[in-house]
Amino acid sequence: MQAYDLMRNRASTETLGTSEDGPSKVTPEVEALHSRCGVYTRTEVVCRILDAVGWRAEADLSRSRLLEPAAGDGAFVLEAARRLVGAFVRLGIALIARTLIGRITAFELHRGEAEKARSRVRRALRAAGAHHKTAEACAQAWITDGDFLLTDLPRDHFTHAVGNPPYVRWSKIPPDLKAEYEAQVPREMTGGDLFLPFLDQALESLRAEGQCGFLCSDRWRYMAFAEEFRVKWLPRLDIRSELSLSASDAFVADVDSYPTILIACKRQPAQTKPQGAQAKSGKTLADLGYVVKVGPALGHTPAYVLESNEADVEPQLLHAWIDGSEIREGALEWQGRRVVVMYGDDGQLIDPTEFPMLLARLERFRKPLERRSIVRDGAPWFRPIDRVFAAAWRRPKLLVPELAKIPRLTIDRSGAIPSHGVYAIFAPDDDVEPLYERLRDGALAKALDEIAPKVKGDYVRCYKRFLLMITLEN
Ligand SMILES: C[S@@+](CC[C@H](N)C(=O)[O-])C[C@H]1O[C@@H](n2cnc3c(N)ncnc32)[C@H](O)[C@@H]1O
């Protein structure tokens, strides 16, 4: 099993550039991004970070799992692999794929750099005495050429997270990639610098008591764009050291930046709950088995969503679509818009040539659809970003707009598909009424008051994780 199989990928394989037709070329956007951020770490600094987080040949790494979110040509992965093998040899553990593969997971967006990293890892494993098939299997499984930010990693999974995440101002991210991140990455982590969602996602994937070591800017400490990151993570981290060093000491290339080595340990969740939630004796929605899902990201809404006066798509493909503005406290005021459902309940993307009206409509939007990075990376030009299934939304659900001055909710039993700015709460037994009764008439706003941070303009962000933390008193 490849390490990658451990993960449910939020993006499709096409998005990751691994279409069934074989490897796709590095797109100009990936090339541009890489040329802006591909600044590699000196081996001494890599070693220092791995030492600090305890990824050492002297440690028992037999059950450890290391994450490297942005591997480049493999500075961290190579040294981590050497130490892993050193630990295994010392402990008498066989150097075979079964024991090794789950220990390291790395991502690199640039296919060519990912391959360089694999090749270095292969050589190191061979030099340590591993069979060439083992070396190959590990190199392939450990380093995924894919987009870390678009991959749905398991939470609380890794014991170690290390690396030197890409450092690129948000405005300098190539436009299609930026649009995709803005559609899929938690909004409070976007808009400032690319390294912030990397830290956020890596920390989410780290398990409690897991160790992290990042070479990164310390701008997250004081810049306004990182305020929500600080609110979220400062109470959940034991920061063990933050050491500034010169760029020439840190990096192989000569760059103008001021890096810091951040070493931290993720606290146990009990210590991280907001005080109000801790004080309560009831159970959270997560404990009670409620499921929260955000509406699908489409990629180019006008192509897939028909206004109430439009009728240029075969009716059997259309389903009611609602956004936050149509959700009132206790009422759904559907304005008649419908979304094209591009996937059958069998999970297959439909072939638009079988639906002449749909094809003609999509053709009208062909240019903007083709400009999306999922398409440049090999996805069919007509595919929405997320798979839009009607079946996934048929169950009764509570709908909550993501952003609201006063959080509000209503019940939907119509099977409507929400926009990407709306969260749906599903009950384990499909009976959403009792929860609705508990949260109606301002009770949702009160429950979120102590959990969800307010953002600019005094809006409350009703994210999935905050909704799941709502505690129902007995
Ligand atoms: C600063 S370099 C660090 C490379 C390596 N970790 C090191 O320390 O030498 C960052 C790397 O992240 C890659 N990258 C940028 N965005 C990425 C993404 N969304 N997912 C995975 N890798 C990404 C870049 O191509 C680049 O090679």
Residue 464: domain span: 291-473
Amino acid 271: pLDDT? 43
CA 16: distance to chain centroid? 13
CA angle 399, 196, 10 (to 5 degrees): 50
> What digits encode the pLDDT tens for the residues 21-76?
344 468 999 999 999 999 999 999 999 999 999 999 999 999 999 999 999 999 99
Amino acid 189: pLDDT? 95
Q: Which atom of ligand 1 is nearest to the CA of 148?
A: 20
The pairing of beta strand 104-107 with beta strand 66-68: parallel
- Which residue's C-alpha comes closest to atom 25 of ligand 1? 34
Q: What's the 351 CA to ligand 1 centre distance in angstroms?
A: 36
- Sole residue written with tokens 């061979």: 126
Q: Which of 209, 233, 266 is where one domain is finished?
A: 266
Q: What is the CATH number of the domain that holds 238?
A: 3.40.50.150
Q: 45, 67, 148: which to mutate for ligand 1, most atoms within 8 A of CB?
A: 148
Q: Which residues contact 20 (CB under 8 A, 6 or more apart)?
A: 13
- Sign (positive/negative) of CA torsion 23, 27, 33, 36? positive
Do 233 and 330 share a structural domain? no
Q: Which atom of ligand 1 is nearest to the CA of 147?
A: 20
Do 253 and 304 share a structural domain? no
Do 330 and 259 share a structural domain? no
- Tell me how far apart the alpha carbons of residues 344 and 77 are, in angstroms, rounded to a whole number: 40
For residue 70, the SS3 value is coil
- Which residue's C-alpha comes closest to atom 9 of ligand 1? 40
* Residues 174, 180, 182, 184, Cα dihedral to 10°: -150
Q: 27, 36, 44, 110: which to mutate for ligand 1, most atoms within 8 A of CB?
A: 110
Closest CA to 74 of 112, 120, 31, 43: 120
- Which residue's C-alpha comes closest to atom 18 of ligand 1? 147
Do 233 and 295 share a structural domain? no
Q: What's the 142 CA to ligand 1 centre distance in angstroms?
A: 15
For residue 328, the SS3 value is strand
Query: Could you tell me if 339 and 332 are in contact, meaning their C-beta atoms sit under 8 angstroms apart?
Result: no
- Which residue's C-alpha comes closest to atom 27 of ligand 1? 72
Query: Could you tell me if 421 and 324 are in contact, meaning their C-beta atoms sit under 8 angstroms apart?
Result: yes
Do 43 and 112 share a structural domain? yes
User: Quick one: DSSP state of residue 299?
Assistant: S
Residue 275 covered by a domain:
no
Amino acid 57: pLDDT? 96
Do 219 and 180 share a structural domain? yes
Query: Could you tell me if 334 and 320 are in contact, meaning their C-beta atoms sit under 8 angstroms apart?
Result: yes
Q: Which atom of ligand 1 is nearest to the CA of 68?
A: 6
Do 243 and 304 share a structural domain? no
Q: What is the domain count for the chain?
A: 2
- Tell me how far apart the alpha carbons of residues 61 and 65 are, in angstroms, rounded to a whole number: 8
Q: What's the 36 CA to ligand 1 centre distance in angstroms?
A: 10
- Which residue's C-alpha comes closest to atom 13 of ligand 1? 70
Query: Could you tell me if 238 and 265 are in contact, meaning their C-beta atoms sit under 8 angstroms apart?
Result: yes
Intervals of the chain under pLDDT 50: 1-24, 271-279
> What digits encode the pLDDT tens for the residues 274-312?
444 444 568 899 889 898 999 999 999 999 999 999 999
Amino acid 449: pLDDT? 85
In this structure, how many other beta carbons lie within 10 angstroms of the beta carbon of residue 158?
25
Do 191 and 79 share a structural domain? yes
Do 371 and 236 share a structural domain? no
Task: List ligand 1's pocket residues with C-beta within 6 A.
Answer: 33-34, 37-41, 70-72, 75-76, 107-110, 113, 147-149, 163-164, 166
Segments in 128-218 forming alpha helices (H): 132-142, 175-184, 195-205
Q: 18, 34, 168: which to mutate for ligand 1, most atoms within 8 A of CB?
A: 34
Amino acid 277: pLDDT? 43
